[in-house]
Structure 1
């Protein structure tokens, strides 16, 4: 199965080629080595994973194109699907693989891959709620602007912005039944376009957080958090948003030394 930007028709001259191979039993290292020899000039860049765990990945450079080949047993991949759809392991990078499978193009074994696609398309309600509850947490940077201005907090401030933007996307992914992982997250605009439930102009506003002066960006972030929690109240009222909303409108006040 071809996945990634090639399968989605989004590849360019910097793209790699992602291909997934599934087996009843993984090939041996000798068998993989023989397959590489069928690509004259292919350069082995890296090998990842442990075959004893049911999966291994290799990166080859073929005619200047980086090709990432993932080899997994059918049993291992089905266990990983279950880890998301049944165990709700939303922090796993396999979340990214779920979207890859949905968008993938089968080259062989189409019947089996279509069965996986059908299963992944059926996004469980429990997974959606787990996504919302997990990501519904925000550092109220909008209320700490005067304090941060007095401290050397550039890295921490931008870390808060990144994590906050990712958490907003995570919450909205749950509301929209989308598979989301912060791992190597790319093409945000295209991802946001899939959301029927989202604050207006979400993509542009998230991008703007990193282009505006801190006081302006902090207020915009506060507004996005407010709108996102309101959407949770409307579309998933069983989730408690009190903690996320508690600091909206809050501004930290300096303490005053007590007189002697």
Structure 2
């Protein structure tokens, strides 16, 4: 744990006191870079606080004042939905607080683990729960960690099937080079890289969301099933000439499809395989009758 991580962890422990003084509060944890031990001078302090009933606006204002916090920087969500988030500055650090009822949080967990809603922003929260550091309500936090750690096979298959979609840009490079498609090219490259990670996350039973995805290399290090040198190869796609990068992407897709066929043979890979090796051919002006 570096000095900046230790500083923000102590700040989180200090901040939480103003909230656990409220009897409505049942648990609290800090997640993000603080929990992962990876803070730098730009890191924020990301906390989740769980209640049997959400605090009133007046109670939140009192807590913010006790923390000597600034005015709110932003607020997201609607308390009528059982949870919302707010942010304010403490000692020059942006501190983000997620406020949620236990009933809503457990409903959110089931949305992912039982309904397999992989588009839900809660998928990112699942990984945050696994690494989160309990600040209050240890028993509840540990119960949630145990539940989230039990990654269902059906969720893994849903992840693989959802992300197993690739646009065959490797077969269109000559065409795209003639059409001033820089933005589209990078959009396809980003989406393809995200889909590769999504498929491999499912194979490895990892929670993955494209939302503000960071620390790719560290994430990939958790994978036991992956193409060789995946992190450097994905990064290299964005630093290599397009006519080379698209072929490298095709190789990554091919290797990933093969891994799906080995480790999750029940998944239909025919659509993803269909255009591997495909190259669009130009047509020529005909000389016959028109």
Question: Smaller-chain TM-score range?
Answer: over 0.9
Q: Distance in 1 between matches of 2:155 and 2:251?
A: 26
Q: Is 1:17–2:65 an aligned residue pair?
A: no
Q: Distance in 1 between matches of 2:112 and 2:126?
A: 9
Q: Distance in 1 between matches of 2:84 and 2:168?
A: 41
Relative to structure 1, is the Cα distance of residues 210 and 92 closer, same or farther in structure 2, using a 3 angstrom cutoff? Answer: same
In structure 2, the partner of 1:142 is: 170
In structure 2, the partner of 1:7 is: 35
In structure 2, the partner of 1:92 is: 120
Q: Distance in 1 between matches of 2:141 and 2:44?
A: 22
Deviations 1:91-130 (A, max 9, x none): 1111100000000001111111111111111100100000
Deviation of 1:156 after TM superposition, in Å, equals: 0.4
Deviation of 1:41 after TM superposition, in Å, equals: 4.9
In structure 2, the partner of 1:73 is: 101
More divergent stretch after superposition (42-51 vs 188-197): 42-51
In structure 1, the partner of 2:150 is: 122
In structure 1, the partner of 2:215 is: 187
In structure 2, the partner of 1:234 is: 262
Q: Distance in 2 between matches of 1:181 and 1:257?
A: 47
CA contact (8 A) 2:69 2:88 kept: no
Query: TM-score by structure 2 length?
Result: 0.88
- Show structure 2 runs of 5+ residues with no match: 1-28
Question: Could you say what secondary structure the match of 2:73 adopts?
Answer: strand
In structure 1, the partner of 2:110 is: 82
Q: Is 1:211–2:263 an aligned residue pair?
A: no
CA contact (8 A) 1:42 1:63 kept: no
Which of 18, 24, 27 is the aligned partner of 2:55? 27
Query: TM-score by structure 1 length?
Result: 0.99
Q: CA RMSD in A?
A: 0.8
Q: Distance in 2 between matches of 1:131 and 1:159?
A: 21
Relative to structure 1, is the Cα distance of residues 230 and 81 closer, same or farther in structure 2, using a 3 angstrom cutoff? Answer: same
In structure 2, the partner of 1:160 is: 188
How many residue pairs get matched?
A: 260
